[in-house]
């Protein structure tokens, strides 16, 4: 279910018009005597103000350099259960970037968020779960924007640190995976995750026809099973084959970028950008950076303005459909197209 009217803790306020008091929803830095990077941008008003853009770029460069230093000092990837991480250096280190200037919750198309539906269809996500959840974030003054929240693929992942049976692990490309053959359903990882990105199968999930014969692997956890935890795995089965994650491929606004820290590049399938410059020049931020989790998901501040969504738009995102409904619609469309062809 799409969360409406609330925002995840640590989420910046909506850009644009300030309320009567001049606040835009950011916590005041003066009260604590400290100025965080998000606080620096909190009272900027309309996105793109020239003076603030310069500060945003500088802050982004500082954050990028800090992350590079942290990456160099970080421990090697944890080996998969029963295996070894090996000695060969990974050729990729994946990240995601959501450009919120392009993301408008698909309200301008009068559709549910297509990134979430693409995820549901790709992974046969069990009923009641959303591995990619789209929040509508509200702030004083009637401003709002949409924010997709996948698994953050944290470099200092609390879920990985608390799992008592090493079912949660990091692969060589920096992606956090779950080995469901090991998962005992204790849900300690769910309690530890500060982003609420994990779900639990309380009952036996419905699997697609043929899943019984599917060869399970953590990179593509099908068939789903009762008593285990699941989450976004950054479509590790797709990136391995050089494809964009389902959310990026399914976004009609090209708002989702897959990036590689090693190559320092990112793409949304339409353009290729230099990752470090793209983040720095657009003042990109990450959720709850103050926790030290070092998430590998960045956001470029915006409210869907590139596709005509005003900052005070009150339209709500529609509920994403489950994979079963999407399959029925696909079959119906295929049947209709076949009938049309025969009639012609």
78, 139, 90: which is closest to 240 by C-alpha? 90
pLDDT tens digit string along 182-199?
A: 999 999 999 999 999 999
Half-sphere exposure of 262 (CA within 13 A, CB side): 9
Residue whose entry in the numeric block shows the structure tokens 């959310």: 247
- Grouping H, G, I as helix, E, B as strand and the rest as coil, residue 188 is helix
Q: Output the average pLDDT for the chain.
A: 81
Residues 222-233, mean pLDDT to the nearest whole number? 97
Residues 277-303, mean pLDDT to the nearest whole number? 97
User: In 74-183, where does DSSP find H-type helix?
Assistant: 114-123, 158-162
Q: Give the per-residue pLDDT at 332.
A: 85
| Comparison of pLDDT for 327 and 69, the residue scoring more | 327
Percentage of residues in the chain with pLDDT exceeding 90? Answer: 66
- pLDDT above 70: residue 16: no
Burial class of residue 197, CB neighbours in 10 A (0-12, 13-18, 19+): buried
- Grouping H, G, I as helix, E, B as strand and the rest as coil, residue 326 is helix
Residue 43's pLDDT band (boundaries 50, 70, 90)? very low
Could you tell me the residue ranges of all domains in the chain? 50-338
**Which range (80-84, 136-140, 259-263, 335-339) has the least confidence?**
80-84
Tokens of 19: 């309320």
Let me know how long the chain is: 344
Q: Give the per-residue pLDDT at 343.
A: 60
Give the contacts of 152 (CB within 8 A, at least 6 positions apart). Answer: 195, 197, 286, 287, 293, 295, 296, 297
Name the packing angle between helices 114-123 and 323-343 (round to 10°): 90
In angstroms, rounded to a whole number, what is the distance separating the alpha carbons of residues 275 and 253?
19
**Which range (73-77, 114-118, 156-160, 178-182) has the least confidence?**
73-77
Q: Give the per-residue pLDDT at 223.
A: 95
50-338 has which CATH code? 3.30.70.20
- Grouping H, G, I as helix, E, B as strand and the rest as coil, residue 339 is helix
Contact 277, 292 (CB under 8 A): no
| Comparison of pLDDT for 262 and 50, the residue scoring more | 262
pLDDT tens digit string along 157-174?
A: 999 999 999 999 999 999
Residue whose entry in the numeric block shows the structure tokens 């998430």: 295
Q: Give the per-residue pLDDT at 336.
A: 73
Give the contacts of 47 (CB within 8 A, at least 6 positions apart). Answer: 15, 16, 101, 301, 302, 303, 305
- What are the CB-based long-range contacts (under 8 Å, 24+) for 285-288? 285/12, 285/37, 285/38, 285/41, 286/152, 287/8, 287/10, 287/11, 287/149, 287/152, 287/195, 288/9, 288/10, 288/194, 288/195
């Amino acid at each position: 279910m799409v969360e409406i009217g609330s925002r995840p803790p640590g989420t910046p306020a909506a850009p644009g018009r300030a309320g009567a008091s001049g606040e835009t929803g950011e916590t005041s830095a003066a009260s604590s005597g400290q100025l965080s990077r998000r606080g620096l941008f909190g009272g900027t008003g309309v996105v793109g103000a020239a003076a603030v853009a310069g500060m945003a770029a500088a802050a982004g460069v500082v954050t990028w350099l800090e992350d590079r230093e942290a990456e160099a000092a970080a421990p090697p990837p944890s080996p998969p259960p029963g295996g070894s991480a090996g000695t060969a250096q990974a050729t990729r280190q994946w990240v995601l970037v959501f450009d919120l200037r392009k993301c408008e919750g698909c309200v301008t198309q009068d559709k549910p968020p297509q990134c979430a539906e693409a995820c549901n269809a790709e992974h046969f996500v069990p009923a009641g779960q959303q591995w990619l959840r789209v929040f509508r974030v509200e702030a004083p003054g009637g401003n709002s924007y949409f924010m997709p929240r996948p698994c953050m693929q944290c470099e200092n992942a609390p879920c990985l640190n608390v799992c008592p049976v090493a079912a949660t692990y990091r692969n060589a490309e920096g992606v956090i995976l779950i080995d469901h053959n090991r998962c005992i359903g204790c849900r300690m990882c769910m309690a530890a995750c500060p982003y609420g990105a994990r779900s639990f199968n309380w009952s036996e999930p419905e699997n697609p026809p043929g899943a019984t014969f599917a060869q399970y692997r953590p990179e593509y956890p099908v068939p789903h099973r009762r008593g285990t935890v699941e989450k976004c795995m950054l479509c590790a089965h797709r990136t391995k084959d050089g494809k964009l994650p389902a959310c990026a491929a399914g976004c009609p606004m090209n708002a989702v970028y897959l990036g590689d820290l090693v190559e320092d590049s990112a793409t949304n399938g339409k353009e290729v950008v230099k990752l470090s410059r793209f983040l720095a020049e657009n003042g990109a931020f990450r959720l709850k950076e103050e926790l030290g989790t070092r998430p590998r998901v960045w956001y470029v501040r915006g409210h869907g303005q590139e596709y005509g969504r005003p900052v005070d738009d009150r339209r709500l995102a529609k509920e994403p459909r489950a994979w079963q409904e999407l399959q029925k619609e696909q079959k119906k469309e295929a049947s209709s197209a076949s009938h049309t062809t025969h009639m012609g």
